Amino acid sequence: MWLFSIIDLNGMAEVVVTATDDSSASVSDSFNVTILPVGDDPSRFSLSFPLGDTLNTLLPNFSWHPAVDPDNGDVIEYQISISTFESMESPIYTESLSDTFHIITVPLTDDVKYYWSLSANTTKVNPKLDYQTQIEPIFTNNCTSRGCHVSGNT
């Protein structure tokens, strides 16, 4: 027997099982099923800017499409991570956010390839990592304290 529920369904219900043989004799029994409330994962979301670009600033704007959480009253918190490793190990910058955009506060280094990704977490009783985006490369090029010169995509 398999039981399937819809998103955000919780509570108790009685299940009645009846077995009937070839002579129409039958027997029934019942049991209660309790579904405990748990946090549902937010929807997948995607990065929007920058995507594989050469940047003309050492303090870039980052933006992404919002995730949607089916749990009423649940707040989604994003965490942006920037690393010089595609594996995202040893991030040089992380920040927890509730918006869908961010301007980093620590300047990036010129002529370095960076990678960035986001994770979405719910902030209910049992917060958890729900979804992490793909990892996107960005590259700073020809930047000085007076500005930057863009030389093309990576």
Query: pLDDT averaged over consecutive 10-residue blocks of the chain (154 residues)?
Result: 67 89 93 78 69 68 78 76 85 88 83 80 54 54 44 33
* Domains parsed from the chain with CATH numbers: 47-144 (2.60.40.10)
Return the C-alpha torsion angle 97, 139, 90, 104, nearest 10.
-30
Per-residue pLDDT, 138: 61
For residues 43 and 96, the answer to whether their CB atoms sit within 8 Å is no
Per-residue pLDDT, 153: 33
Per-residue pLDDT, 41: 64
Residue 38 CA to residue 141 CA, distance in Å, equals: 46
Per-residue pLDDT, 43: 65
Per-residue pLDDT, 148: 42
Per-residue pLDDT, 128: 44
The overall pTM is greater than 0.85: no
Residue 42 CA to residue 22 CA, distance in Å, equals: 48
